[in-house]
Structure 1
Amino acid sequence: MMKKMRYIAVMTLVVLITSGCADDSSAVSSRPGSGAKTVDDVIAEQMAASDMSSLIAEYGEYEEDDASYGDTSGASDNSAAATSFHTAEEIKVDGDYVDLTKQSSTMIYTTVYNMMYYPENFVGKTIKMTGNYSEYVAEDTGKRYFACIIKDATACCSQGVEFELTSDYKYPDNYPKEEDPITVEGVFDLYEEGQYQYCTLRNAKLCES
């Protein structure tokens, strides 16, 4: 019984640590997309798994017939896939044009990570990227948002970058279909909505892949 109480306390601490990790005021927020894991999701899971490992080493692993209590394999499975962006440091971007279509898959995801966590380094720069089209309608306002979804090299995680097409495009006639592969180019900018800050590519256009 005492061991079970220790386990519950450990799990409570991990949940609190994970929740705190996801709340990073320096990063811009991403809107709900396809449901795939974002960089924030996997980093939080990886930290939770790491903290769980150290706590188990101290208290011992909880064993009970219900194996689901002690199963942390789901979080650890993401460790290798998360390495490229979990260890990513701030990168400086030279020039006013960033063409992600010419970068490796690992570098693309690292750059997108930097867009989320160091957005000030990209404001005003023209960004070109390839990914999958996605759109999201806010339930409270009915406003429609558009995004280019970029997946990491293992396709286990994804991050969306919003874009606003120019008035030359009419919705829905000139817009892609959900999950269509797209290449989009626009000027990186930030805006605030409610209590959150978001990034978007303004004056964007769709390009040939």
Structure 2
Amino acid sequence: MKKAAAMILLMAMTILLASCSQGADNKTGSKTKTVDDVLQQQTATTVEATTSASTVKNNNTNKKQADVDLTELSSTMVYSEVYNMVSKPDDYIGKTVRMNGAMAMSKGNNQVYYACIIKDATACCSQGIEFVLKDGSYPAEGTDITVFGTFNTYKEGEYTYCQLKNAVIEA
């Protein structure tokens, strides 16, 4: 009896999952979406929601409005948005970004790099973005911070890196 109930439940879940995975038709007649399609759809929704939430929040405080406010997003959406920022940086150049996380420091190429590290809900997939403060007064490593700055990229050798320039740490 338990096996029959388990089989019925498994079949019902399979049918539900199959029907949920069908998307709009494309030229080949396939009804599936790629990961990029889903991320683009979520990003568009996120940017709209972030802008609205940021406007409401910033109307009530003295904080500057951010084009991309990662502090207003769930951990899943933050992960997706930061992934997009790193994989398609040209879409974000010149936009203002607000993010919060842990202050991190790394040394290399005779230089010190500072980043804001964001952990996801399970703390398994940390991501971060480098930042350069206007005043050069960096907090201690591990400090929880909220950083606001302008998204930019730069090259070192053959690699392109993302950073927030002219950044400030908000209280």
Under a length normalisation based on structure 2, what TM-score does the superposition of the two structures give?
0.63
The aligned amino acid for 1:203 is N
Partner in structure 2 of residue 128 of structure 1: 98
Mapped pair 1:147 → 2:115? yes
The aligned amino acid for 1:156 is C
Partner in structure 2 of residue 175 of structure 1: 138
What does 1:14-29 align with in structure 2 at a 5 Å threshold?
Answer: none
Question: 1:86 offset after TM fit, Å?
Answer: 9.2
- The CA RMSD measured in Å over matched residues stands at 2.1
Which of 136, 159, 163 pairs up with 2:127? 159
Tell me, which stretches of 5 or more residues in structure 1 are unaligned?
1-84
Q: How far, CA to CA, are the matches of 1:152 and 1:115 in structure 2?
A: 16
Q: How far, CA to CA, are the matches of 2:81 and 2:69 in structure 1?
A: 10
Cα–Cα, structure 1 residues 132 and 161, in superposed 2: closer, same or farther, change >3 Å?
same
Q: How far, CA to CA, are the matches of 1:88 and 1:144 in structure 2?
A: 36
Superposed CA deviations along residues 167-200 of structure 1, whole A, max 9, x for unmatched, are: x23xxxx321111110000000011101100000
Superposed CA deviations along residues 80-123 of structure 1, whole A, max 9, x for unmatched, are: xxxxx999623344676111111111111111111111111111
Mapped pair 1:107 → 2:77? yes
Q: How far, CA to CA, are the matches of 1:153 and 1:88 in structure 2?
A: 20
Matched residue of 1:89: which SS? helix
Partner in structure 1 of residue 148 of structure 2: 185
Question: 1:162 offset after TM fit, Å?
Answer: 0.3
| Alpha-carbon contact 1:88-1:110 (below 8 Å) kept | no
The aligned amino acid for 1:178 is E
Partner in structure 2 of residue 50 of structure 1: none
Partner in structure 1 of residue 25 of structure 2: none
Aligned residues: 117
Greater RCO structure (CA 8 Å; 6+ sep) = 1
Under a length normalisation based on structure 1, what TM-score does the superposition of the two structures give?
0.52
Partner in structure 2 of residue 64 of structure 1: none
The aligned amino acid for 2:75 is S
Superposed CA deviations along residues 33-62 of structure 1, whole A, max 9, x for unmatched, are: xxxxxxxxxxxxxxxxxxxxxxxxxxxxxx
Matched residue of 2:123: which SS? coil
Moved over 2 A (4+): 85-96
Q: How far, CA to CA, are the matches of 1:100 and 1:88 in structure 2?
A: 19
The aligned amino acid for 2:117 is I
Partner in structure 2 of residue 78 of structure 1: none
Partner in structure 2 of residue 200 of structure 1: 163
What does 1:39-58 align with in structure 2 at a 5 Å threshold?
Answer: none
Matched residue of 2:81: which SS? helix
